[in-house]
Amino acid sequence: MSAKRLQVMNKKTTVSIIIVILAVALVVGVVLNYKQKPEEKDTRPEIPAVTKNQTSPAPVKEIKTGQINTNKAEVVELQKAVDNGHQPWRLDPLLVAKAGAL
């Protein structure tokens, strides 16, 4: 084989090796990212399942109205926790509304 042809083959081999290394790194990164840490349990509320005969979840028996009492310190702590990645379901307005209705 000519020297030029060997050089092209070496470049292709090098590129192939780099692609394989990047693919492996990507897979490992995805697996590590999705691996749930033991202290971070799923804290999403239970949402009632819809059965075949229902078109929506069971209706709420009582609707609460009026002023809501909140503790600002608790709200700030909860916001910090959500900002740090805890309780990611709280980023979904529908899940938050359903959790408040239960």
Q: What is the pLDDT along the chain (102 residues), one digit of tens a residue?
A: 566 665 666 777 888 888 888 888 888 877 776 665 556 666 777 766 666 665 666 666 777 788 878 889 998 998 999 999 998 888 888 888 888 765
Per-residue pLDDT at 45: 72
pLDDT of residue 6: 59
pLDDT value at position 59? Answer: 67
Kindly state the DSSP code that residue 91 receives in the 8-state scheme. G
| Residue extents of the structural domains in the chain | 3-50+70-101
Count the Cβ atoms, other than its own, within 10 Å of residue 47: 13
pTM: 0.35
